[in-house]
Amino acid sequence: MKKPVALMIAVAMSVFSFTAFAAETVLVFGGNRATDLETVKALVAKKDKVTVVVRPSAEVTDLKALGVTMITGDVLQPVMIEKCKGEDYLVNSGLDYTIIRPGGLKNGPATGKTSLTADHTAHSDINREELGKLVASSVTDKAMFRKIMHAVDPTLPSAEMK
């Protein structure tokens, strides 16, 4: 039996997604739009079984079209405290985990120039589509386990770096 692994994406200081899987199932919180939807699309393209936790008021047309399982819930009840608790829990849990911290999120096509780095001073904007692909490829990559990574795109410097 495969050991569970967890993946957390910390996004834009106030929103986060948490993805965890046991065996071939991936659980995504908030996967109905933006970066999370791109992640779900990439996971489905990899033939992973995906379950998405969505708010009761969420638009789920895209998720239905992807054929994923949906559960109703609200990950935003209280975000920042719980994000920190979630990260601490993962780091101390004994589970294999990857925490991904992207910079500012942009809408646009993948540039093919993004990467994950352990350099905690690295920061840039990143397109949601590209971040979704990075997350999906990291879910089962044992080289990424037990690490906190930053998603960067050198072609998209963040507003703070300009």
3-state SS track over the chain: CCCCEEEEEEECCCEEEEEEEECCEEEEECCCCHHHHHHHHHHHHCCCEEEEEECCCCCCHHHHHHCCEEEECCCCCCHHHHHHHHHHHHHHCCCEEEEEEECCEECCCCCCCCEEECCCCCCCCEEHHHHHHHHHHHCCCHHHCCEEEEEECCCCCCHHHC
Q: What is the pLDDT of residue 159?
A: 60
pLDDT tens digits for 50-109?
888 888 899 999 999 999 999 888 766 666 677 778 888 888 988 888 889 888 888 888
Q: What is the pLDDT of residue 76?
A: 61
Say how many domains are in the chain.
1
What's the pLDDT band for 161 if we cut at 50, 70, 90?
very low
Rounded to whole angstroms, what are the CA distances from 146 to 38, 61, 75, 85, 90? 23, 34, 23, 16, 9
For residue 101, the enclosing domain spans: 5-161
pLDDT tens digits for 16-27?
334 444 446 787
Q: What is the pLDDT of residue 80?
A: 62
CATH number of the domain that residue 122 is part of: 3.40.50.720
What's the pLDDT band for 8 if we cut at 50, 70, 90?
low
**Cα separation, 125 vs 106, whole angstroms:** 7
**Cα separation, 28 vs 52, whole angstroms:** 5
* Range in 6-10, 41-45, 53-57, 150-154 with the lowest mean pLDDT: 6-10
